[in-house]
């Protein structure tokens, strides 16, 4: 056996949502709906697809590592300086860059759980300590997090809206929390789902970048922009923090077609608006249906809904897969009685509700 880093023994494999191909092969189905991974049900922007195809003419060339066109488009859209932006191979890599730049064996990261598991993975890979506190009322317990900060704390991960609950931290609570965080601690706000948020007090935070030099906002093109297959993530922060991330960033990690598609996607406001419309209509459709079935769910600011099923939830998830409906059981998040369903198109949502009613009548749960 070749010696390896002992920290690997403490790492858990990431558990993704099952793919359409996987369920097709397992059950021999031809009609499958996937509502497991919070992907855009409309797919990618037509403009992004066109840009992707055009980029195929230059596949023999290296991409520009600084991603100038994407950074310029992001800077213009959000009113920030280009040197306040980092790009990565998905927001997963942006999180890994943060850990690589700011964590080591003498430090630790904090968060609340259940939440996105990548925070723990990137932290432990750097031999850093990792502490998680329980959510309070299904959202981040900011008072407990503030009290948990020690001399070793270097990074705090906040998922807002939170995955897998869809709950959120309001502006007032966030402002109060930041007043309690030492300037030496980097607060990472993962806003992968922020574009879907409708709450009046949801904190966008980009307008407060200069107020909080120890804050970094992470976002992605995988959700509302429908580019999950291309892997493009980005982050906003202070010039000083972003400069450190560029030092540990691989030179060609965001490929050429991905950069082209992401730039085009930012300019397609029609597709962006249509996605929001489908999501908001789908939320009303699903919540009405779930209520009619007597099922408890969490109010969400994201493009998914967490639904409590009970002890038979794993059985129900497996049964739904056999019927060609892929949803996400939340056992890997530590809440096995719950499932997470992505808000899809009207016909997809209707099929999910139809299958739930059928499963309930048949005693599956």
Give the per-residue pLDDT at 8: 85
Helix (H, G, I), strand (E, B) or coil at 230: coil
Which residue has better confidence, 303 or 8? 303
Q: Tell me: do 30 and 150 sit in the same domain.
A: no
For residues 253 and 109, membership in a common domain is answered with yes
Alpha carbon of residue 184 to chain centroid: 26
**Is 15 a residue whose pLDDT tops 80?**
no
Average pLDDT over residues 26-51: 95
Condensed to tens digits (0 to 9), the pLDDT of residues 165-210 reads 999 999 999 999 999 999 999 999 999 999 999 999 999 999 999 9
Q: Are residues 262 and 285 in the same domain?
A: no
Pair of tokens at residue 17: 């949502």
CATH number for 333: 3.90.1150.10
Checking if the pLDDT of 76 tops 90, the result is yes
Q: What is the average per-residue pLDDT within 58-73?
A: 96
Q: In 16-165, where do the E strands start and end?
A: 33-34, 85-88, 108-113, 129-134, 153-159
- Contact (CB, 8 A) for 124 and 99: no
Residues near 233 by beta carbon (within 8 Å), at least 6 away in sequence: 87, 88, 89, 90, 91, 92, 93, 94, 218, 219, 220, 221, 222
**Mean pLDDT, rounded, of the chain:** 96
**Which CA distances in Å does 40 have to 7, 22, 217?**
35, 19, 21
Q: Which of 270, 263, 256, 365 is nearest to 308 (CA)?
A: 365
Q: Name the residue range of residue 344's domain.
A: 16-44+270-361
246 with 277, same domain: the answer is no
Counting Cβ atoms within 10 Å, is residue 312 exposed (0-12), middle (13-18) or buried (19+)?
middle
* CATH number reported for the structural domain that contains residue 58 in this entry: 3.40.640.10
* Same domain for 344 and 197: no
**Structural domain tally of the chain?**
2
Query: Do 302 and 183 fall within a single domain?
Result: no
pLDDT in tens, 126-149: 999 999 999 999 999 999 999 999
Is 171 in the same domain as 301? Answer: no
Q: Does residue 248 sit in the same domain as residue 326?
A: no
């Amino acid at each position: 056996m070749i010696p390896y880093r002992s920290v690997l023994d403490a790492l858990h494999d990431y558990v993704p949502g099952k793919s359409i191909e996987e369920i097709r092969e397992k059950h021999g189905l031809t009609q499958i709906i996937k509502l497991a991974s919070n992907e855009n049900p409309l797919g990618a922007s037509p403009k992004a697809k066109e840009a992707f195809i055009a980029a195929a003419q230059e596949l023999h060339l290296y991409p520009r590592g600084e991603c100038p066109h994407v950074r310029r488009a992001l800077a213009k859209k959000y009113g920030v300086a280009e040197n306040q932006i980092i790009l990565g191979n998905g927001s997963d890599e942006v999180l890994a860059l943060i850990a690589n730049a700011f964590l080591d064996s003498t430090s630790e990261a904090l968060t609340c759980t259940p939440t996105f598991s990548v925070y723990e993975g990137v932290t432990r890979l750097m031999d850093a300590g990792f502490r998680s506190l329980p959510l309070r009322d299904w959202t981040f317990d900011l008072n407990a997090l503030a009290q948990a900060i020690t001399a070793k704390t270097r990074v705090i991960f906040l998922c807002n809206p939170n995955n897998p609950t869809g709950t959120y931290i309001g502006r007032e609570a966030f402002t109060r929390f930041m007043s309690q965080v030492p300037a030496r601690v980097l607060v990472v706000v993962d806003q992968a789902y922020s574009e879907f948020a409708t709450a009046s007090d949801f904190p966008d935070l980009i307008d407060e970048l200069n107020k909080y030099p120890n804050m970094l906002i992470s976002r992605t093109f995988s959700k509302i922009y429908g580019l999950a297959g291309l892997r493009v993530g980005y982050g906003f922060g202070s010039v000083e923090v972003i400069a450190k991330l560029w030092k540990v960033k691989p030179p060609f990690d965001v490929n050429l077609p991905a950069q082209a598609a992401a730039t085009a996607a930012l300019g397609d406001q029609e597709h962006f608006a249509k996605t929001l419309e489908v999501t908001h209509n789908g939320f009303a459709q699903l919540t009405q249906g779930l209520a009619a079935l007597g099922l408890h769910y969490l109010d969400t600011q994201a493009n998914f809904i967490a639904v409590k099923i009970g002890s038979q939830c794993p059985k129900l998830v497996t049964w739904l897969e056999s019927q060609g409906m892929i949803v996400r059981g939340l056992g890997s998040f530590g809440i096995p009685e719950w499932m997470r369903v992505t808000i899809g198109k009207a016909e997809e949502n209707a099929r999910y509700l139809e299958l739930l009613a059928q499963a309930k009548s048949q005693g599956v749960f």
